[in-house]
Each structure stands twice: as C-alpha cells, then as structure tokens.
Amino acid sequence: MAHTIEPARSSRASCKTCKGKIEKGELRFGEEAPNPFMDGEMGYRWHHLKCAAKKKSDILLDTLDEIEIEVPEREEL
C-alpha cells in the first residue's frame, strides 16, 4: 500500500482517525485504499499528521524519510 504526505487541496477531507476536518493547506498523511465511489480505482484515506503519528507511527516515519517537502513539525512526530 502506498503512502503520501501533501498539503490538503481543499477543506473537504476529514481525518479517518479523529473524524475532524483537515483544513486547506494543512499537511496530511494519506494511505492508498480502494475508492468506494469508482470501481477499480484507488484513492486515499487521509489523516492529520499528529493523528497518523499516534496510530501509524512506523509507516509515517518511513514516509517522512521518503518525501521531499518541508514538514515543520517533523521532530514532534
């Protein structure tokens, strides 16, 4: 399963851990999953970075090592 960290493109996504809104521009952690709305297509389940750090810390740290974007709170995760 692929993972990514990127800024939210809109404020429509919600965190799958805490169910809270992910604001536009906020960095978010995504885990690839089947898209329930498009047969055979893949999408992402999004999490706040701090929520992902609590629930999936090893995967998040591996993804942080792989990405090339600046993550200001990297040391806190």
Length of the chain equals 77
CATH number of 3-71: 3.30.1740.10
pLDDT at 61: 84
* Cα–Cα dist 74/64, whole Å: 8
Q: Does pTM top 0.95 for this prediction?
A: no
**CA 55, 59, 65, 66 torsion-angle sign:** negative
Sequential pLDDT tens for the chain (77 residues): 699 999 999 999 999 999 999 999 999 999 999 988 888 899 999 999 999 999 888 888 888 888 878 888 777 77
Phi, psi of 11 (to 5 degrees): -105, 20
Domain locations along the chain: 3-71
Q: What is the pLDDT of residue 1?
A: 64
